[in-house]
């Protein structure tokens, strides 16, 4: 698998053709998010490509602030259970650590055991606190120990 950066505008250069409606939603959604948080590579969104298909998306939820960067990821429903989300999370951690080893890396999940909490635990993240999300309310916040 490889990560393909989602550009500020237009389709990614390295994405396979054609781009499905689901992938187009991921691209459009992340490009709209850039307008809110800014576009600052490498702190952007990515598509995960496996062979000739996009199997997921992952992102930094903006550039680091106060020494903290947050990650997020989603796998295509028909590709779940294959370790793709774990691979994407590991890749985002790799990018963050290689760019700034001192960064604190966090993620948020719904406040219940689920696939995403298992991904974070496999990657070494620890649930550290409850937090508030404007869209879903209370969430669990996870942090990767230094």
Judge whether residue 110 has pLDDT over 70: yes
**pLDDT at 19 (0 to 100):** 82
Q: Does residue 139 lie within any of the structural domains?
A: no
Q: DSSP 3-state helix, strand, coil percentages of the chain (rounded to 5)?
A: 30, 35, 35
Q: Which domain does 75 fall in, by range?
A: 2-104
Confidence of residue 97 (pLDDT cuts 50, 70, 90): very high
* pLDDT at residue 16, rounded to an integer: 64
Does some domain include residue 48?
Answer: yes
Domain count for the chain: 1
Share above pLDDT 90 across residues of the chain, in percent, rounded to a whole number: 86
Evaluate whether residue 116 is within a structural domain.
Answer: no
Residue 40 has pLDDT above 90, yes or no: yes
Q: Is residue 111 part of a domain?
A: no
CATH number, residue 85: 3.40.630
User: What is the Cα–Cα distance from 101 to 105, expressed in whole angstroms?
Assistant: 10
14 domain-assigned: yes
Please state the pTM of the whole predicted model.
Answer: 0.94
**Does the residue 39 lie in any domain?**
yes
């Amino acid at each position: 698998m490889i990560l393909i950066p989602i550009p500020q505008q237009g389709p990614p250069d390295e994405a396979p053709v054609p781009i499905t409606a689901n992938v187009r939603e991921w691209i459009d959604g992340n490009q709209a998010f850039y307008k809110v948080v800014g576009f600052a590579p490498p702190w952007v969104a990515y598509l995960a490509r496996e062979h000739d298909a996009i199997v997921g998306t992952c992102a930094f939820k903006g550039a680091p602030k106060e020494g903290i960067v947050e990650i997020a990821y989603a796998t295509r429903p028909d590709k779940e259970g294959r370790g793709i989300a774990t691979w994407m999370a590991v890749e985002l951690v790799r990018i963050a650590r290689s760019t700034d080893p001192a960064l604190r890396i966090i993620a948020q999940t719904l406040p219940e055991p689920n696939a995403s909490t298992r991904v974070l635990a496999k990657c070494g993240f620890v649930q550290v606190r409850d937090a508030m999300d404007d869209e879903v309310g209370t969430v669990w916040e996870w942090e990767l120990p230094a």
